[in-house]
Amino acid sequence: MIIEALTSYAHQAWVWSTSSALHSVIAGVVLLIALVLVQEARRPAMAGIPGPFLARYTDLWLTRQAMRGNRSEVVHGLHKKYGRFVRIAPNHVSIADHAALNPVYGHGTGSLKADFYDAFAAPTLPRGLFNTRSRPEHSRKRKIVSHTFAPKSIAAFEPFVRMQIQILVGRLEELSKSSQDGWYALDVLMWMNYFAFDTIGSLAFGSTFGMLERGSPEADVELPTPSGKMEKTTCNAVQIINERGDYSATLGVVPPYLRPYAARLPWFSNRLKSVKKLTGIAFAKVNQRLEHGSDREDLLAKLQAGTDETGQTMGKYELVAESLTQLIAGSDTTSNSATAIIYHLCQHPAVLKKLRQELDASLPDDSDEVPLLSDVDSLPYLNAVINESLRVHSTSAIGLPRLMPQGGVTIDGKHFPEGSVLSVPTYTIHRDPTVWGKDAEEYRPERWLDAEGKATSKSDLEKSFNPFSTGPRVCVGRNLAIPEQQMLIATLVKRFDFKLEKPEDDLLVVEGFLRKPVTLPAKVRIRRKGEESVWS
């Protein structure tokens, strides 16, 4: 009886919906609402968690924030309004509490990278260390790659990094001398990009992109043509790496079943060209290296030599994928952070003065050499300046989404079942007043030091300091990233004066996957001792 009645009802509804275009639209909307409500009913754990009304029913709310380029600031505002737990998508809760870092990201929790990371896969390559979501595949790759970042390897990389700093110094001196009053106008961000790309090019591909020498962001690309031949061309590597971040971080929050359609919209399809070109850069560089060989002890050499537990080395495509991963992960992270440091030093003359006192006391004045890592890695104020800049700027600022494993997870009495997506927003925990104090929004390197100016026992602050993430997917390159900043910033501060074109302006930032400065117009000149105030 009931089945007959339902069948007859469905039949009538079908006839009604097909009887006119308006009826079809109404039927479609009703169906969509029914689907959304059924989905909502299947997620009782999420139901009581506050957040924007639309985010409860559709991922498109978060997509919109990602497209607008200020996701972290918006999510931060929501946490201020609603508290520690905020539902930012139907199946995604943001938890602004450092105590959630371990259950969400920690070793042994069994959480995995969420399907957000599928949007980071390069179309023609196997997954790399960063975007693989498979635990066994990640463990295998991580074993090979972490070996390349062991302390012994970092010692071998130091001369390559110092060489790029030396080239940067030479170029800035030359440009300063070319100007009548010694001040040369430049975009600090672009020069930090040239440095970061050339350094990672030198390490990950065996040769630089020549950006510092040319003062331009061009890189060679090799792309397959429809006929299967490789076409050689050039592109603006800085621009395409930015566009690739915007593309992936936005497409990654679109529901997976809508991604093929979304990818056809001009906003995405224009940026997809950049994703392809980026792969072409890695192909061009790795091909060059494989053709010509090299006896350099760099990242690529270590990747080529690395073996997994079965004794297998990486094949060519995997090698390209991992080199590309390092190019993407190790380039603008470095340049964004260095630019933010220079900006904050320009805005805080007292901090600059103190840093210079420390550097002048520990490094010789008359040396043309870039300092050794061992000369600068334990300088407390330099490290405080770097940490404070990583905290305030947070180039990796969004909550990195993780999929909860079988059995789910309970955080602060709230249970999230298997399949829930959770994240801890780095931008917000870097501003938690219960950890950082009432002045959490202020730039104050002294918070990293004790009353005698020595590095504090960091455990109190470090529990909420998350620039490199944590757990099995923690940044594998952090042992390189920090020494790179230490040597670079020590050299620039010791040898140059900077002044901002518009000191009254905040640092303009936009967020794709990373929170990055848009530009930092400034002037640079060879340092003139006794005229310290010019930085502000």
Which residues are at the interface with ligand HEM (CB under 6 A)? 129-130, 142, 200, 325-326, 329-330, 333-334, 337, 395-396, 400, 467-469, 473, 475-477, 480-481
Nearer to ligand HEM (CB atom), residue 298 or residue 497: 298
Nearer to ligand HEM (CB atom), residue 148 or residue 176: 148
Nearer to ligand HEM (CB atom), residue 184 or residue 513: 513
Q: How far apart are CA 217 and CA 229, in angstroms?
A: 26
CB 448 within 8 A of CB 383: yes
How far is the CA of 319 from the CAs of 131, 328, 332, 411, 463, in angstroms? Answer: 14, 14, 21, 39, 35
Nearer to ligand HEM (CB atom), residue 461 or residue 526: 461
Tell me how far, at minimum, the Cβ of 468 lies from ligand HEM, in Å. 5
Number of neighbours of residue 318 by Cβ within 10 angstroms: 18
Residue at 430: amino acid letter: H
Q: How far apart are CA 371 and CA 382, in angstroms?
A: 13
Q: If you write DSSP's letter for every residue of 242-295 in order, what string do you get?
A: HHHHHHHHHHTTS-GGGHHHHTTSHHHHHHHHHHHHHHHHHHHHHHHHHHH---
346 is in an annotated binding site: no
Number of neighbours of residue 230 by Cβ within 10 angstroms: 13
Tell me how far, at minimum, the Cβ of 479 lies from ligand HEM, in Å. 9
Nearer to ligand HEM (CB atom), residue 200 or residue 238: 200
Tell me how far, at minimum, the Cβ of 188 lies from ligand HEM, in Å. 16
Tell me how far, at minimum, the Cβ of 364 lies from ligand HEM, in Å. 28
Secondary element (H or E) of residue 184? strand 184-187
Nearer to ligand HEM (CB atom), residue 250 or residue 326: 326
Tell me how far, at minimum, the Cβ of 475 lies from ligand HEM, in Å. 3
Nearer to ligand HEM (CB atom), residue 425 or residue 467: 467
Residue 125's SS3 state is coil
Nearer to ligand HEM (CB atom), residue 160 or residue 496: 160
CB 414 within 8 A of CB 103: no
Tell me how far, at minimum, the Cβ of 205 lies from ligand HEM, in Å. 11
Tell me how far, at minimum, the Cβ of 120 lies from ligand HEM, in Å. 9
Q: How far apart are CA 536 and CA 534, in angstroms?
A: 6
CB 206 within 8 A of CB 296: yes
CB 472 within 8 A of CB 108: no
Tell me how far, at minimum, the Cβ of 84 lies from ligand HEM, in Å. 21
Q: How far apart are CA 418 and CA 415, in angstroms?
A: 10
User: Which residue is at the shortest CB distance from ligand HEM?
Assistant: 477
DSSP letter for 404, please: -
CA proximity to 51, closest of 17, 14, 95, 15: 95
Which residue positions form the known binding site?
A: 475
Binding-site residues for heme, in ranges, read: 475
